[in-house]
Structure 1
Amino acid sequence: MKDIKVLGTGCANCRNTVKLIEEVAAERNVAVNLTKIEDLPEIMKYGVMSTPGVVVDGKVVHAGGVPDRAKISTWL
């Protein structure tokens, strides 16, 4: 199971990123533990300066803008 965190303060791009990850994971039948982190000090711990940020299994893989489906697929 992949541990995925979406870092963001609740903006539309952050919500869309969560939704896309859920959709792609469901399409590929991949189990994910998806967490949304909105606490700014917690986000800063990852060194993410532009949101949404995505952390997969403890590693920052994306920051700034909504990732596309192809990119999400590579994380899964």
Structure 2
Amino acid sequence: MKIEILGTGCAKCKKTKEIVEQAVAELGIVAEVVKVEDMNAALDYGVMITPAVVVDGDVKIAGKIPTVEKVKEWLSK
């Protein structure tokens, strides 16, 4: 599983990455969590506002910080 955190490195983007890493750890799954700061990559996904979370190429959220529970939902499906 590949999880991309799209964002410029702002505080919200860093918090989103922490939340995703916490959810991965709590679920005990193997996932590659990657921070993507290239805004062209974000635009390729159609993301206009960050932070955004992409799981295996599927944009799950953009413009908001997700909760740990919500990330767990995405990763459990």
State the TM-score, normalizing by the size of structure 1. Answer: 0.93
Indicate the residue corresponding to 2:59 in structure 1.
Answer: 60
Number of residue equivalences: 75
**Which residues of structure 2 form unaligned runs of 5+?**
none
Indicate the residue corresponding to 1:70 in structure 2.
Answer: 69
**CA offsets per residue over residues 22-54 of structure 1, 9 Å max, x none?**
111111101111111001111111110110011
Residue identity (%): 44
**1:49 is aligned to 2:48:** yes
4+ residue runs of structure 1 moved beyond 3 angstroms?
A: none
**Matches of 2:10 and 2:64 in 1, distance apart?**
11
C-alpha contact 2:22 2:68 (8 A) present in aligned 1 = no
Q: What RMSD, in angstroms, separates the aligned Cα atoms of the two structures? A: 0.8
**Which residues of structure 1 form unaligned runs of 5+?**
none
**Matches of 1:16 and 1:3 in 2, distance apart?**
18
Indicate the residue corresponding to 2:18 in structure 1.
Answer: 19
